[in-house]
Amino acid sequence: MEFDLQYWHWLVFGMILLMVEIFLTSFTVFWFGLGALVVSAVLAFFPALSHPWQVGLWAISSVLFTLLWFRYFKPMMRDKSKAGNASEAIKGESGLVIAVPVGDKRGVARFTTPLMGDDEWPFICQSDVAIGDRIFVLEMSGNTLIVEKR
Amino acid sequence: MIFNGMIVSVVFLLLVLVTIFMGVNIVPQGTKYVIQRLGKYSRTLGPGLHFVIPYIDMVAYKITTKDIVLDIPSQEVITRDNAVIIANAVAYINIVSPEKAVYGIENYGVAIQTLVQTSLRSIIGEMDLDDALSSRDAIKAKLKGSISDDIADWGITLKTVEIQDINPSLTMQKAMEEQAAAERSRRATVTRADGEKAAAILEAEGRLEASRRDAEAQVVLATASQTAIEKVSQAVQGQELPVMYLLGERYVEAIKDMSTSANSKLVVLPGDIPAAVRSLMGSMMK
């Protein structure tokens, strides 16, 4: 090995990797970029570190960054929109019973804001409901809502 | 040794690279990924950044959760009043449970297309042509109700169905045009007849009014004659001479008029004018 890796090689390499992430948008190269920056910091303090150890340290630090991200940072990211997610958008919505289910006929509930383009939906409820009761959506089954009375 | 260590560390790095590359998944908003763990369904990933265990978990399906527009192809439908129409529609569906949609049916798009097609045919078959053209909301509600249970197992909701266009067949179109034309000509005939009737009535009313006035005029004339005769009789009071004089004068006037008329120059004069006048007077002078 004639070529000797300096700490700034790793620094530049890490920054290039961070920039590559802009074009790759897979959010994977980013961790390797951060890992390379860690290697450059360690190399600045211990210039005698051999090449295999440098590469190994790079791999390990990258894995650590990835794990840290999914363990601590991802739970902090909330969903900002339920657009295009019908099931998440309707769960927990409440409506009023305007027709009671009788026998095998389904009841009808009306919602103040339209749910998936309709403000009246047939529903199935395990417990008995009366007209005017407030029900909450649990699930959607075809064009019928599964609801519960709280 | 160092060289071997280098190989090991580079391979380890490659392993880490591939592993992280396979494990990190970014699911864009509006789609969901169905994850299988060793061939069995494991979970559904919503939008956002996710880490799946590489080599064990794999993304089996990528399903859109946006509304899907399904074009329902044209088909011939026979209405209750035996009109053949060609109808096509458009359906909007939404996949609520991606795992049900991918494991419940082979091809949900085709399945719902054919289901809507057949249901639409039977619903329009129960309607008259005019109803089918005008009651879209009823068709929509019936259609939703009829296929709701069928698509429940597939985790799909039918949001709306709109009939795009209904075209009557050529013969039907011709018949409709003829019907419309006949209706117009019927109206024209009725209007003309109404006009003629009104005219006749007005004319008759005019005649009635005219006759009434004529009768009144005759009465007035008769009354005038009566008055005149009465006045003359009062003036005469049994004396013959003035009457004779008057009549004679009129007689002579009449003969004079006759002589000046263009069509005849032959004038017959009675020999005894007083006697002639007296005979005109008749029994009045006796």
- Residue pointed to by tokens 């429940």: B152
* Amino acid in the structure at residue A89: A
Cα–Cα distance, B32 to B30 (Å, whole number):
7
Better pLDDT: A23 or B182: B182
Better pLDDT: B45 or B269: B45
Cα–Cα distance, A65 to A67 (Å, whole number):
5
pLDDT score recorded for residue A97: 93
Cα–Cα distance, B11 to B50 (Å, whole number):
25
Q: Is B186 on the interface with A (CB under 8 A)?
A: no
- Residue pointed to by tokens 């190994």: A56
Q: Which residues of B touch A71 (CB under 8 A)?
A: none
Roughly how many angstroms between the first and final C-alpha of chain B, as a whole number? Answer: 185
Better pLDDT: B255 or A126: A126
Asked if residues B62 and A52 have their Cβ atoms less than 8 Å apart, the reply is: no
Mean of pLDDT values over A129-134: 91
B223 C-beta neighbours (distance < 10 Å), count: 10
Cα–Cα distance, A60 to A32 (Å, whole number):
10
pLDDT score recorded for residue B33: 95
**Considering the entire predicted model, what is its pTM?**
0.65
Please answer yes or no on whether A55 and B9 come within 8 Å at the CB atom.
Answer: yes
Predicted confidence (pLDDT) per residue in B180-226, tens digit: 999 999 999 999 999 999 999 999 999 999 999 999 999 999 999 99
Q: Is B109 on the interface with A (CB under 8 A)?
A: no
Query: A86 to chain B nearest CA, in Å?
Result: 6
Determine phi and psi for B133, rounding to 5 degrees.
Answer: -80, -25
Q: Which three-class secondary structure state does DSSP give residue A141?
A: strand
* Amino acid in the structure at residue A2: E
Return the top range by mean pLDDT from A16-25, B6-15, B96-105.
B96-105
Q: Is A119 on the interface with B (CB under 8 A)?
A: no
Cα–Cα distance, A106 to B43 (Å, whole number):
31
Asked if residues A123 and A146 have their Cβ atoms less than 8 Å apart, the reply is: yes
Predicted confidence (pLDDT) per residue in B98-146, tens digit: 999 999 999 999 999 999 899 989 998 999 988 887 887 888 888 888 8
Cα–Cα distance, B52 to B100 (Å, whole number):
21
Looking at A77-81, B71-75, B185-189, B226-230, which range is the least confident one? Answer: A77-81
Query: In terms of Cα–Cα distance, which of B223, B224, B63 is closest to B154?
Result: B63
Mean of pLDDT values over B234-263: 80
* Alpha carbons within 13 A on the beta-carbon side of B166: 21
Which of B21, B147, B159 has the CB atom closest to A116's CB atom?
B159
